[in-house]
């Protein structure tokens, strides 16, 4: 029986991994060009639609400036902007090099329950962080 699942398709066709690597490389290149917000942490350009409409930060607010800060070596500033910028930046750098390491990962690793649960937990933590940030604004914590 021939394996025709998504893992077999991605093993035969390296383009999805290369496309992700290209997108990750473009994100990292943009982080070198975009401003990091400086010491006041105020964006020069408002990219967040939620913040533009409501005036409140979403769970992802500060990620773009956090990436720019990390590209400039300002780790504490990136943490202050959004603590999730550090693991997401590391994942973006890893995505750039993933096509080179593709043969070292077992087939279907991205479909394993542990990976899926890890992503789900990460998203839930980001949502909890966003809610805590909003609670701090509303209750002046």
List the one residue out of 57, 66, 71 whose CA is nearest residue 28. 71
Say how many Å lie between the first and final Cα of the chain, rounded: 60
| DSSP assignments along 90-131, one per residue | HHHHHHHHHHHHGGGSPTTGGGSHHHHHHHHHHHHHHHHHHH
pLDDT in tens, 78-87: 999 899 999 9
Please state the pTM of the whole predicted model. 0.75
Instruction: pLDDT band for 69, please (50, 70, 90 cuts).
Output: very high
Coil, helix or strand at residue 41: coil
19 HSE (CA, 13 A, CB side):
5
Average pLDDT of the chain to the nearest whole number: 80
pLDDT in tens, 12-67: 555 677 788 888 899 999 888 887 766 555 656 677 888 888 888 889 888 888 99
């Amino acid at each position: 029986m021939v394996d025709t699942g998504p893992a077999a398709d991605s093993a035969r066709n390296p383009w999805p991994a290369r496309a992700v690597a290209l997108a990750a490389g473009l994100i990292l290149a943009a982080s070198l060009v975009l401003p990091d917000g400086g010491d006041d942490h105020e964006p020069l350009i408002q990219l967040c639609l939620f913040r533009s409409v409501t005036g409140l930060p979403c769970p992802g607010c500060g990620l773009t400036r956090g990436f720019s800060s990390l590209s400039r070596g300002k780790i504490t500033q990136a943490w202050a902007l959004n603590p999730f910028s550090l693991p997401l930046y590391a994942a973006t750098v890893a995505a750039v090099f993933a096509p080179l390491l593709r043969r070292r990962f077992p087939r279907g690793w991205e479909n394993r329950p542990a990976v899926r649960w890890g992503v789900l937990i990460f998203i839930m933590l980001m949502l909890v962080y966003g809610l805590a940030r909003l609670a701090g604004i509303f209750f002046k914590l």
